[in-house]
Amino acid sequence: MKTDLSNYVYLKDYQKTEYVISEVDLVFKLDPEKTIVQNKMRIERRHQTDAGTTLVLDGDELTFISAQVNGQSLNEGQFEASANSFRLLTPPADEFELTITTQVNPSANTQLSGLYLSSGNYCTQCEAEGFRRITYFYDRPDSLAIYKTRIEALKAKYPVLLANGNPLTSGDMDAGYHFAEWLDPHPKPSYLFALVAGDLGRVSAPYTTASGRNVALNIYVEHGNEPRSTYAMDCLIRSMKWDEERFGREYDLDVFNIVAVSDFNMGAMENKGLNIFNDKYILADPKVATDADYEGIETVVAHEYFHNWTGNRITCRDWFQLCLKEGLTVFRDQEFSSDERSRSVQRIQNVRSLKSRQFPEDSGPLAHPVRPDTYKEINNFYTATVYQKGSELCGMLQTLLGIDGFRKGMDLYFERHDGDAATIEDFLACFAESSQINLDQFALWYHQSGTPLLKVTRLYNRDRQELSLTISQELAPTPGQEKKEPMLIPIRFGLLAKTGDEQAFSAIRGAKVKDDVIWLENATQTIVFEGVSEGCVPSLLRGFSAPVNIESDLNSFEKLLLMQHDCDGFSKWQALQDVAGDILVKLSVGQEAPELDAFTEALAAIIGDDSLEYAFRALCLQMPSHDDLVPHLSGKYDPEAVYQAKLKLRKQITKRLLPLFETIYSEVKPASPFNPDATSAGARSLRNTIVSYLGISSDQRHHELVVKHFENADNMSDQISALITLVHDQITGYEVALQQFYEMHKNTPLALDKWFAAQASSPTSSGVEMLECLAQDPAFSWGTPNRVRALLDPFTIGNPRLFNKADGSSYKYLAQKVLEIDTKNPQLAARVLNAFRSWQHLEPTRRQLARQALASILDAKQAISIDIRDITERCLQ
């Protein structure tokens, strides 16, 4: 465990390596406790003038065995080897071969970084700095080499031996061992190295690329899970096809292998030719996977596949450029999902996720730029900001340049930087050049942290029939950044006449406008629409064209007009959320909300509108989250009051919409037999959202309906939605249902995770006591990331009422658990700790308790990891 109080790493300190490692030849003799790794590297000095410079390679918890240069063993005095570095003191002047042998202990590796065992199978995770836990190397993304890998292992226990690239040879050895050799012809950084050895089942499919290359696709899973992997295979094939059509990108090896493992810190990893997945994002069948799980599988499979070009063929120069591969690849997977499903529904879901994860990060102590310029622990920078905001920035580029303009920039990027370790500047230069547009101001988005606030005020001139909008942009100070510059903000817009029809205008002045997009460039700008009628209402930020907050002078009736009539699906939904948010803020501080009746009327009209997609209507029934309301309550956020306000609003909605709910519930029929497609999923989603409202009805009949919904479910989406409603509203029979669910799924950990989550997210439970009880269950384990997340995320994220219990008991519990998890898996501990990121917005009593819990982590008697120290210190700063 890295515990040192090591210093910050700075972007400005970037320097190329002194030496270049061009080829790596690895031999693994696999053993659970004593794996021997022989690493033969072809090395050359970068500059002839640097003769004699010491070669310094990274290591982490390595046991050094031996080293040779050009086949000659090294003597003491020629090198220095420690657990975390190898130094060759006087390397040869000419190209040479350095062979280092190390020993590692996979079975003791609970961090799940480097080489470890998962359910008895060997696997690796090298991003970001895991390769140095396997062997000494330039473990940084700008060190690209060609890798050959030989794996030796017991054949009976580990019949499957996989590594990056294409298979070379394989065969039997003495004493029951066998071997396999793999060669990856594409130079790559060490973080993309992977190896798997185990006894696994396989699903295969052939694929022919657009230019006629044949590729063997394989997904490896635990024996017996093969039938649950066919959906993932289907997603992979659709992703490969989509990348050819949309971006002209083909696959470039003879095989593409995916392995699903049950112990994994993240969702999945894009290792070249050998993706390794958390099995949660591969395994799917109707009994175990919800529609959201199917969607997640599609997203993650596509995402990791898309990295083959955005990440692998073109990688990052250093970890500060992480968004170059992650933001862009998230953008690509979101575009894929939009093309495969409903674009507006997809957009709403992405924005919901952005606002509930990235916006809070950007408005709290952990705020950082999409392209940071300093970090202490890189693992803590795989954040919502780098990923989600990073994706939004690509989306804004596409909005500004148009789909074709964006594609032209991407084409140039692939052409110019294939085989490179690139930077954000390289990336942006391709778009600036191909479009002939100066993107210097746009580039600020990568460097300035925080969410801009747009303030909009209107003025109508009756004589001239002109509507003026004055828009100002503000960006509040964030850690390390006091003053900010105005940025280029694309605002997609429309105007609605009083009648709700789209309002035409004769001209616009005051800003650059391309099609229906305003290019906002100044701190304050007045934009004038000519030839418009009085009372028309601007619809700004259609499609959420920029990741900003907006404060407009629209009154609630104008917002209701947008909610009822906006032709942009996203804006219609956003207007609904805005009105609901206004109501919730008022209710939570004990005020009346006069717009409540008009709101429920307008909501009823939407929910009953058969021209709207089911999934869209389901999203419209979901009221704003606590996170959505926090910015409006900063410093006095009382989670209990918000919980009560939401309950009150939901009860009002139930009262008004009950007849509609009953009709829709009985008339909407999802496809039978089960089909995971978007339309059926939408139908289930609408019915299940209705079920959640029926749970708070005071009518016994509705409770019985929820119980029936549970009992008759033939798929996990229905079953778990009913269970959640039963448990959260403590409907008679909920204990029995919990037991039935447990019995039914007790041999399927991924299904039981939902059982844990349903209870942990219950606002009506006892809180910490209940968590402690759940953690005692034999199916639970603090050592398995999926279990830990299934218990803690639904509590810290999904249960704001009890996580923020006024006595501070949950904060204390979480801090304690973080310390315990930290001893085994610091990365996981740091992620759990992120739950405190918005503590400063809390009302004073809770704020004080949260601060104490955070402080207790730094005061702990045990040695703590750099991972949790970094997060805690930044939180408290």
Q: Which positions are annotated as active-site residues?
A: 304
Of the candidates 382, 406, 599, 813, which one interacts with ligand BES according to CB under 6 A? 382
Residue 269 binding result from Zn ion, ligand BES, none, given CB thresholds of 5 to 8 Å by partner type: ligand BES
With CB under 5 to 8 Å by kind, the binding choice for 129 among Zn ion, ligand BES, none is none
Chain residues 386-405 in contact with ligand BES, contact rule CB under 6 A: 387
Question: Distance (Å, rounded) from C-alpha 131 to C-alpha 318?
Answer: 15
Q: Which of these segments, 70-78, 262-270, 485-493, 622-630, binds ligand BES (CB under 6 A)?
A: 262-270
Residue 268 touching ligand BES (CB under 6 A): yes
**Contacts of ligand BES in 291-310 (CB under 6 A):** 299-300, 303-304, 307
Task: Identify the residue among 21, 128, 629, 727 touching ligand BES (CB under 6 A).
Answer: 128
Total residues interacting with ligand BES, rule: CB under 6 A: 17
Contacted by 583, from Zn ion, ligand BES, none: CB < 5 to 8 Å by type: none
**Of 173, 175, 178, nearest in space to 199 by CA:** 178
Instruction: Candidates 81, 235, 269, 351: give the one binding ligand BES (CB under 6 A).
Output: 269
Q: Which residues contact 430 (CB under 8 A, 6 or more apart)?
A: 409, 410, 412, 413, 416, 417
Shortest distance in whole angstroms from residue 43 CB to ligand BES: 27
User: By CB under 6 A, is residue 326 in contact with ligand BES?
Assistant: yes
Query: Is 325 or 846 the residue whose CB approaches Zn ion more closely?
Result: 325
- Sole window of 318-326, 392-400, 718-726, 758-766 interacting with Zn ion (rule: CB under 5 A): 318-326
- Which of ligand BES, Zn ion, none does residue 680 bind (CB under 5 to 8 Å by kind)? none
Count CA atoms within 13 Å of residue 183 on its CB side: 5
Q: How far is the CB of 746 from ligand BES (least distance, A)?
A: 27
Q: Which is nearer to ligand BES, 303 or 626 (CB)?
A: 303
Within 10 Å of residue 877's Cβ, how many Cβ atoms?
A: 9
Q: Minimum CB separation from ligand BES for residue 547, in Å?
A: 17
User: Could you tell me the end-to-end alpha-carbon distance of the chain, in angstroms, rounded to an integer?
Assistant: 24
**Residue 304 Cβ, how far from ligand BES at the closest point, in Å?**
6
Binding mask 275-314 for Zn ion (x = CB under 5 A): ----------------------------------------
User: What is the phi/psi pair of residue 18, to 5°?
Assistant: -75, -30
Radius of gyration (Cα) for the chain, nearest Å?
Answer: 28
Q: Which of 684, 701, 702 is nearest to 693 (CA)?
A: 702
**Both structure tokens of 841:** 């917005």
The residues in 693-752 that bind ligand BES, with binding defined as CB under 6 A, are: none
Closest to Zn ion by CB, 205 or 378: 378
DSSP codes of every residue in 396-456: HHHHHHHHHHHHHHHHHHHHHHTT-EE-HHHHHHHHHHHHT---TTTTHHHH--S--EEEE
Distances in Å between the alpha carbon of 417 and those of 94, 185, 312, 514?
29, 17, 11, 30
The Cα 287–Cα 277 span in angstroms is 21
Shortest Cβ 446–Zn ion spacing (Å)? 18
131 secondary structure, DSSP code: G
Cα separation, 610 vs 613, whole angstroms = 7
Contacts of range 651-655, beta carbons closer than 8 Å, 24 or more positions apart: 651/696, 652/596, 652/600, 653/600, 653/603, 653/621, 653/623, 653/693, 654/693, 654/694, 654/696, 654/697
Q: Is 270 in the site for ligand BES (CB under 6 A)?
A: yes
For residues 67 and 74, the answer to whether their CB atoms sit within 8 Å is yes
CB of 326: closest distance to Zn ion in angstroms? 5
DSSP 8-state secondary structure symbol assigned to residue 11: G
What is the widest separation between alpha-carbon atoms in the chain?
Answer: 95
Question: DSSP letter string over 695-748?
Answer: TT-S-HHHHHHHHHHHHH--SHHHHHHHHHHHHHTT-TTHHHHHHHHHHHHTT-
Q: Which is nearer to ligand BES, 383 or 423 (CB)?
A: 383
Binding piece for ligand BES, criterion CB under 6 A, among 268-276, 649-657, 752-760, 765-773 = 268-276
**Which secondary-structure segment (H or E) carries 795?**
helix 785-796
Q: 510 contacts which partner out of ligand BES, Zn ion, none, CB within 5 to 8 A by kind?
A: none
Q: Which does 128 bind (CB under 5 to 8 A by kind): ligand BES, Zn ion, none?
A: ligand BES
Q: Is 330 a residue that touches ligand BES (CB under 6 A)?
A: yes
Work out how close the CB of 192 gets to ligand BES at its nearest, in angstroms, rounded to a whole number.
9
Q: CB-wise, 329 or 574, nearer to Zn ion? A: 329
Considering only residues 323-352, where is the footprint of Zn ion by CB under 5 A? 326, 329
Instruction: Decide: is 266 part of the binding site for ligand BES (CB under 6 A).
Output: yes
Judged by beta carbon, residue 388 or residue 525, the one nearer ligand BES is 388
Cβ atoms of residues 241 and 224 within 8 Å: no
Dihedral-angle region of residue 664 (phi above 0 means left; psi in -120 to 50 means alpha; beta otherwise) = alpha
The contact set with ligand BES (CB under 6 A) reads 127-128, 266-270, 299-300, 303-304, 307, 326, 330, 333, 382, 387
The contact set with Zn ion (CB under 5 A) reads 326, 329
